[in-house]
Structure 1
Amino acid sequence: MGTPKLGRIPSMRERVEDSLSAYRNVLVSLLSRYVSQGKGLLQPHHLIDAVATLGDDARTKLSEGPFSDVLKFAQEAIVLPPFVAVAVRPRPGVWEYVRVNVHELSVEQLSASEYLQFKEELVDERSNDRYVLELDFEPFNASFPRPIHSSSIGNGVQFLNRHLSSIMFHNKDCFEPLLDFLRAHKYKGHVMMLNDRI
Protein backbone atom coordinates (compact mmCIF):
# COMPACT_ATOMS: atom_id res chain seq x y z
CA MET A 1 0.00 0.00 0.00
CA GLY A 2 1.45 3.37 -1.03
CA THR A 3 1.94 6.29 1.29
CA PRO A 4 -0.65 9.03 0.97
CA LYS A 5 0.57 12.17 -0.72
CA LEU A 6 0.00 15.57 0.75
CA GLY A 7 -1.04 18.05 -1.87
CA ARG A 8 -1.51 21.78 -1.91
CA ILE A 9 -5.08 22.99 -1.61
CA PRO A 10 -5.92 25.10 -4.67
CA SER A 11 -6.72 28.75 -4.04
CA MET A 12 -10.15 30.15 -4.79
CA ARG A 13 -8.74 31.92 -7.85
CA GLU A 14 -7.51 28.57 -9.21
CA ARG A 15 -10.91 27.00 -8.52
CA VAL A 16 -12.68 29.75 -10.45
CA GLU A 17 -10.21 29.43 -13.33
CA ASP A 18 -10.67 25.64 -13.38
CA SER A 19 -14.44 26.09 -13.44
CA LEU A 20 -14.18 28.60 -16.28
CA SER A 21 -12.09 26.21 -18.35
CA ALA A 22 -14.34 23.20 -17.62
CA TYR A 23 -17.81 24.80 -17.62
CA ARG A 24 -17.33 28.09 -19.42
CA ASN A 25 -20.89 28.59 -20.70
CA VAL A 26 -22.54 27.62 -17.42
CA LEU A 27 -20.33 29.90 -15.34
CA VAL A 28 -20.68 32.80 -17.78
CA SER A 29 -24.46 32.39 -17.60
CA LEU A 30 -24.38 32.45 -13.80
CA LEU A 31 -22.04 35.43 -13.54
CA SER A 32 -24.08 37.29 -16.16
CA ARG A 33 -27.16 36.83 -13.97
CA TYR A 34 -25.29 38.46 -11.09
CA VAL A 35 -24.20 41.36 -13.32
CA SER A 36 -27.69 41.81 -14.79
CA GLN A 37 -29.00 42.61 -11.31
CA GLY A 38 -26.91 45.77 -11.46
CA LYS A 39 -24.50 47.31 -9.05
CA GLY A 40 -24.86 45.99 -5.53
CA LEU A 41 -23.96 43.69 -2.70
CA LEU A 42 -25.13 40.07 -2.88
CA GLN A 43 -25.53 37.89 0.20
CA PRO A 44 -24.89 34.11 0.10
CA HIS A 45 -28.58 33.31 -0.41
CA HIS A 46 -28.68 35.60 -3.47
CA LEU A 47 -25.75 33.67 -4.96
CA ILE A 48 -27.47 30.33 -4.37
CA ASP A 49 -30.84 31.59 -5.65
CA ALA A 50 -29.25 32.53 -8.98
CA VAL A 51 -27.87 28.99 -9.28
CA ALA A 52 -31.39 27.64 -8.74
CA THR A 53 -32.61 29.56 -11.82
CA LEU A 54 -30.20 27.64 -14.07
CA GLY A 55 -31.25 24.44 -15.81
CA ASP A 56 -30.82 21.01 -14.20
CA ASP A 57 -27.81 20.15 -16.34
CA ALA A 58 -26.07 23.43 -15.49
CA ARG A 59 -26.77 23.04 -11.75
CA THR A 60 -25.32 19.53 -11.83
CA LYS A 61 -22.17 20.72 -13.57
CA LEU A 62 -21.68 23.53 -11.05
CA SER A 63 -22.28 21.27 -8.04
CA GLU A 64 -19.71 18.75 -9.31
CA GLY A 65 -17.09 21.34 -10.25
CA PRO A 66 -14.65 23.32 -8.14
CA PHE A 67 -16.89 26.40 -8.25
CA SER A 68 -19.23 24.70 -5.77
CA ASP A 69 -16.62 25.33 -3.03
CA VAL A 70 -16.52 29.00 -3.93
CA LEU A 71 -20.31 29.24 -3.59
CA LYS A 72 -20.37 27.13 -0.42
CA PHE A 73 -17.86 29.32 1.42
CA ALA A 74 -18.89 32.68 -0.11
CA GLN A 75 -19.78 35.33 2.47
CA GLU A 76 -20.76 38.09 0.04
CA ALA A 77 -20.29 39.23 -3.53
CA ILE A 78 -19.88 42.72 -4.90
CA VAL A 79 -21.21 43.45 -8.37
CA LEU A 80 -19.88 46.44 -10.25
CA PRO A 81 -20.46 45.62 -13.92
CA PRO A 82 -18.57 43.99 -15.57
CA PHE A 83 -16.89 42.77 -12.36
CA VAL A 84 -18.07 40.31 -9.73
CA ALA A 85 -15.89 40.12 -6.61
CA VAL A 86 -16.49 37.34 -4.09
CA ALA A 87 -15.33 37.21 -0.46
CA VAL A 88 -14.73 33.57 0.46
CA ARG A 89 -14.06 32.19 3.95
CA PRO A 90 -12.89 28.57 3.52
CA ARG A 91 -11.81 28.16 7.17
CA PRO A 92 -12.22 30.20 10.36
CA GLY A 93 -9.93 33.21 10.21
CA VAL A 94 -8.97 32.65 6.56
CA TRP A 95 -10.37 34.92 3.86
CA GLU A 96 -9.76 34.93 0.11
CA TYR A 97 -11.02 37.51 -2.37
CA VAL A 98 -11.54 36.81 -6.06
CA ARG A 99 -12.68 39.20 -8.79
CA VAL A 100 -13.96 38.05 -12.19
CA ASN A 101 -14.37 40.25 -15.24
CA VAL A 102 -17.45 38.71 -16.87
CA HIS A 103 -16.78 40.21 -20.31
CA GLU A 104 -13.11 39.24 -20.58
CA LEU A 105 -13.40 36.14 -18.34
CA SER A 106 -10.28 37.12 -16.44
CA VAL A 107 -9.84 36.13 -12.80
CA GLU A 108 -7.67 37.90 -10.26
CA GLN A 109 -6.90 37.39 -6.59
CA LEU A 110 -7.44 40.51 -4.45
CA SER A 111 -5.87 41.45 -1.14
CA ALA A 112 -8.16 42.48 1.71
CA SER A 113 -7.42 46.18 1.17
CA GLU A 114 -8.05 45.89 -2.59
CA TYR A 115 -11.35 44.12 -1.90
CA LEU A 116 -12.44 46.80 0.57
CA GLN A 117 -11.46 49.55 -1.87
CA PHE A 118 -13.52 47.80 -4.55
CA LYS A 119 -16.41 47.56 -2.09
CA GLU A 120 -16.21 51.29 -1.37
CA GLU A 121 -16.83 51.97 -5.05
CA LEU A 122 -20.41 50.81 -4.48
CA VAL A 123 -21.05 53.91 -2.42
CA ASP A 124 -18.69 56.43 -3.90
CA GLU A 125 -18.47 56.79 -7.65
CA ARG A 126 -15.58 59.20 -7.13
CA SER A 127 -13.30 56.51 -5.68
CA ASN A 128 -10.30 57.97 -7.52
CA ASP A 129 -10.72 61.21 -5.61
CA ARG A 130 -7.54 62.11 -3.78
CA TYR A 131 -9.46 63.33 -0.70
CA VAL A 132 -10.66 60.00 0.64
CA LEU A 133 -11.31 59.76 4.37
CA GLU A 134 -8.91 57.28 5.90
CA LEU A 135 -8.83 56.45 9.62
CA ASP A 136 -5.90 54.80 11.36
CA PHE A 137 -7.04 52.84 14.42
CA GLU A 138 -3.65 51.17 14.93
CA PRO A 139 -2.61 53.35 17.91
CA PHE A 140 -5.71 52.21 19.80
CA ASN A 141 -4.98 48.50 19.59
CA ALA A 142 -1.17 48.51 19.41
CA SER A 143 -0.79 47.57 23.09
CA PHE A 144 -3.14 44.58 23.00
CA PRO A 145 -1.81 41.18 22.05
CA ARG A 146 -3.57 39.33 19.25
CA PRO A 147 -4.93 35.79 19.54
CA ILE A 148 -3.14 33.65 16.95
CA HIS A 149 -4.93 30.30 17.22
CA SER A 150 -8.13 29.60 15.33
CA SER A 151 -9.60 28.16 18.57
CA SER A 152 -9.52 31.72 19.98
CA ILE A 153 -12.12 32.93 17.45
CA GLY A 154 -15.25 33.97 19.32
CA ASN A 155 -13.43 34.31 22.66
CA GLY A 156 -12.18 37.87 22.21
CA VAL A 157 -13.85 39.32 25.32
CA GLN A 158 -12.49 36.52 27.49
CA PHE A 159 -9.02 37.03 25.97
CA LEU A 160 -9.04 40.78 26.66
CA ASN A 161 -10.38 40.27 30.20
CA ARG A 162 -7.50 37.94 30.99
CA HIS A 163 -4.99 40.34 29.48
CA LEU A 164 -6.35 43.39 31.33
CA SER A 165 -6.71 41.59 34.66
CA SER A 166 -3.13 40.30 34.46
CA ILE A 167 -1.91 43.87 33.92
CA MET A 168 -4.02 45.11 36.81
CA PHE A 169 -2.77 42.50 39.30
CA HIS A 170 0.88 42.93 38.33
CA ASN A 171 0.77 46.72 38.59
CA LYS A 172 -0.49 47.94 41.99
CA ASP A 173 -1.05 51.49 40.65
CA CYS A 174 -4.01 50.19 38.62
CA PHE A 175 -6.09 49.45 41.74
CA GLU A 176 -6.75 53.07 42.72
CA PRO A 177 -8.70 54.06 39.56
CA LEU A 178 -10.71 50.83 39.84
CA LEU A 179 -11.59 51.53 43.48
CA ASP A 180 -12.53 55.13 42.61
CA PHE A 181 -14.83 53.81 39.90
CA LEU A 182 -16.48 51.32 42.29
CA ARG A 183 -16.86 53.95 45.05
CA ALA A 184 -18.66 56.30 42.64
CA HIS A 185 -21.66 53.95 42.37
CA LYS A 186 -23.94 55.00 45.22
CA TYR A 187 -27.65 54.85 45.92
CA LYS A 188 -29.05 57.15 48.63
CA GLY A 189 -25.57 57.57 50.08
CA HIS A 190 -24.81 53.84 50.25
CA VAL A 191 -21.92 52.47 48.19
CA MET A 192 -23.33 49.72 45.96
CA MET A 193 -20.23 48.04 44.56
CA LEU A 194 -17.96 47.82 47.64
CA ASN A 195 -18.51 46.66 51.19
CA ASP A 196 -17.40 48.66 54.23
CA ARG A 197 -14.24 46.57 54.77
CA ILE A 198 -12.51 47.73 51.58
Structure 2
Amino acid sequence: MIETIDELLRERRESLFMLLHRYLGLGRRFLLSSDLWDEFQRFCESREGGAMCDSGLARIIGAAQEAALEAPWFYLAVRPRVARWIYLRFHLDSMEYQEISAGEFLAFKERLATDRAFADPWVLEIDLGPFG
Protein backbone atom coordinates (compact mmCIF):
# COMPACT_ATOMS: atom_id res chain seq x y z
CA MET A 1 0.00 0.00 0.00
CA ILE A 2 2.83 2.41 0.81
CA GLU A 3 4.33 1.67 -2.61
CA THR A 4 1.00 2.58 -4.20
CA ILE A 5 0.96 5.94 -2.44
CA ASP A 6 4.56 6.63 -3.44
CA GLU A 7 3.66 5.84 -7.05
CA LEU A 8 0.59 8.09 -6.93
CA LEU A 9 2.65 10.96 -5.55
CA ARG A 10 5.19 10.52 -8.35
CA GLU A 11 2.80 10.05 -11.25
CA ARG A 12 -0.48 11.71 -10.28
CA ARG A 13 0.44 14.24 -7.63
CA GLU A 14 -1.93 16.94 -8.90
CA SER A 15 -4.93 14.61 -8.97
CA LEU A 16 -4.23 13.38 -5.45
CA PHE A 17 -3.81 16.99 -4.31
CA MET A 18 -7.17 17.91 -5.82
CA LEU A 19 -8.95 14.94 -4.23
CA LEU A 20 -7.58 15.62 -0.75
CA HIS A 21 -8.56 19.28 -1.05
CA ARG A 22 -12.06 18.23 -2.14
CA TYR A 23 -12.34 16.25 1.08
CA LEU A 24 -11.20 19.30 3.03
CA GLY A 25 -13.70 21.43 1.10
CA LEU A 26 -16.57 19.37 2.48
CA GLY A 27 -16.12 21.36 5.68
CA ARG A 28 -16.31 18.39 8.01
CA ARG A 29 -13.71 17.27 10.53
CA PHE A 30 -14.58 13.58 10.33
CA LEU A 31 -15.46 11.50 7.28
CA LEU A 32 -16.76 7.94 7.28
CA SER A 33 -15.84 5.35 4.69
CA SER A 34 -19.06 6.06 2.79
CA ASP A 35 -18.27 9.80 2.72
CA LEU A 36 -14.77 9.10 1.41
CA TRP A 37 -16.03 6.73 -1.27
CA ASP A 38 -18.93 8.93 -2.40
CA GLU A 39 -16.69 11.97 -2.82
CA PHE A 40 -14.11 9.83 -4.62
CA GLN A 41 -16.83 8.69 -7.06
CA ARG A 42 -17.82 12.32 -7.70
CA PHE A 43 -14.15 13.16 -8.23
CA CYS A 44 -13.85 10.30 -10.75
CA GLU A 45 -16.73 11.77 -12.72
CA SER A 46 -14.89 15.08 -13.05
CA ARG A 47 -12.42 15.89 -15.81
CA GLU A 48 -9.51 16.02 -13.35
CA GLY A 49 -10.24 12.71 -11.66
CA GLY A 50 -11.30 10.47 -14.52
CA ALA A 51 -7.98 8.64 -14.67
CA MET A 52 -8.05 7.86 -10.95
CA CYS A 53 -11.06 5.53 -10.99
CA ASP A 54 -9.05 2.42 -11.83
CA SER A 55 -5.86 3.41 -10.04
CA GLY A 56 -4.38 2.15 -6.82
CA LEU A 57 -6.05 5.10 -5.15
CA ALA A 58 -9.44 3.46 -5.71
CA ARG A 59 -8.26 0.44 -3.72
CA ILE A 60 -6.94 2.64 -0.92
CA ILE A 61 -10.13 4.72 -0.68
CA GLY A 62 -12.18 1.52 -0.87
CA ALA A 63 -10.31 0.14 2.14
CA ALA A 64 -10.38 3.42 4.07
CA GLN A 65 -12.52 3.31 7.19
CA GLU A 66 -12.44 6.94 8.30
CA ALA A 67 -10.61 10.23 7.99
CA ALA A 68 -9.99 13.17 10.28
CA LEU A 69 -9.25 16.56 8.76
CA GLU A 70 -7.96 19.89 9.90
CA ALA A 71 -5.97 22.04 7.51
CA PRO A 72 -3.24 21.38 6.65
CA TRP A 73 -3.55 17.78 7.91
CA PHE A 74 -5.50 14.84 6.52
CA TYR A 75 -5.40 11.68 8.67
CA LEU A 76 -6.63 8.42 7.15
CA ALA A 77 -7.33 5.01 8.70
CA VAL A 78 -7.09 2.20 6.15
CA ARG A 79 -7.93 -1.45 6.71
CA PRO A 80 -6.34 -3.29 3.77
CA ARG A 81 -7.27 -6.72 5.13
CA VAL A 82 -8.63 -8.43 8.22
CA ALA A 83 -6.69 -7.60 11.40
CA ARG A 84 -4.41 -5.12 9.58
CA TRP A 85 -4.73 -1.37 9.94
CA ILE A 86 -2.57 1.36 8.46
CA TYR A 87 -2.77 4.94 9.67
CA LEU A 88 -1.54 7.71 7.39
CA ARG A 89 -1.04 11.43 7.78
CA PHE A 90 -0.88 13.74 4.75
CA HIS A 91 0.27 17.35 4.82
CA LEU A 92 -2.01 19.01 2.28
CA ASP A 93 0.33 21.85 1.34
CA SER A 94 3.55 19.93 0.83
CA MET A 95 1.81 16.69 -0.25
CA GLU A 96 4.07 14.63 1.96
CA TYR A 97 2.78 11.73 3.98
CA GLN A 98 3.92 9.38 6.67
CA GLU A 99 2.64 6.25 8.33
CA ILE A 100 1.72 6.91 11.97
CA SER A 101 0.72 4.83 14.97
CA ALA A 102 -2.85 4.15 16.05
CA GLY A 103 -2.19 6.25 19.15
CA GLU A 104 -1.21 9.27 17.05
CA PHE A 105 -4.32 8.87 14.91
CA LEU A 106 -6.57 8.63 17.96
CA ALA A 107 -4.87 11.59 19.68
CA PHE A 108 -5.53 13.72 16.59
CA LYS A 109 -9.20 12.66 16.54
CA GLU A 110 -9.50 13.40 20.26
CA ARG A 111 -8.06 16.87 19.78
CA LEU A 112 -10.52 17.58 16.97
CA ALA A 113 -13.48 16.24 18.93
CA THR A 114 -12.72 18.24 22.08
CA ASP A 115 -11.47 21.42 20.36
CA ARG A 116 -8.39 21.59 22.55
CA ALA A 117 -4.79 20.54 22.46
CA PHE A 118 -4.31 17.16 24.06
CA ALA A 119 -1.37 17.53 26.42
CA ASP A 120 -1.99 15.04 29.23
CA PRO A 121 0.75 12.40 28.94
CA TRP A 122 -0.86 10.18 31.60
CA VAL A 123 -3.98 9.08 29.78
CA LEU A 124 -4.96 5.46 30.29
CA GLU A 125 -4.42 3.51 27.09
CA ILE A 126 -5.44 -0.12 26.73
CA ASP A 127 -4.09 -2.24 23.89
CA LEU A 128 -6.37 -5.20 23.22
CA GLY A 129 -4.26 -6.50 20.38
CA PRO A 130 -2.83 -10.02 20.39
CA PHE A 131 0.35 -10.66 22.34
CA GLY A 132 3.56 -11.45 20.54
Task: Tell me, yes or no, if structure 1 residue 76 matches structure 2 residue 66.
Answer: yes
Secondary structure of 1:78's match? strand
- Aligned pair count reads 130
Percent identical residues: 28
2:20 paired residue number: 31
Q: What value does the CA root-mean-square deviation take over the aligned residues?
A: 2.4
Task: Tell me, yes or no, if structure 1 residue 46 matches structure 2 residue 46.
Answer: no
Q: CA deviation at 1:147?
A: 8.5
| Residue among 5, 9, 22 paired with 1:20 | 9
Q: Distance in 2 between matches of 1:119 and 1:133?
A: 17
Could you tell me which runs of 5 or more consecutive residues in structure 2 were left unpaired when the two chains were aligned.
Answer: none
Task: Tell me, yes or no, if structure 1 residue 88 matches structure 2 residue 53.
Answer: no
Which fold has the larger relative contact order, with Cα–Cα distance below 8 Å and residues 6 or more apart in sequence?
2
Secondary structure of 1:103's match? coil
Q: CA deviation at 1:32?
A: 0.4
Secondary structure of 1:122's match? helix
1:116 paired residue number: 106
- Would you tell me which structure has more strand in proportion to its own residues? 2
1:107 paired residue number: 97
Could you tell me which runs of 5 or more consecutive residues in structure 1 were left unpaired when the two chains were aligned.
Answer: 1-11, 149-198
TM-score by length of 2: 0.82
Q: Distance in 2 between matches of 1:13 and 1:85?
A: 15
TM-score by length of 1: 0.57
1:181 paired residue number: none
1:66 paired residue number: 56
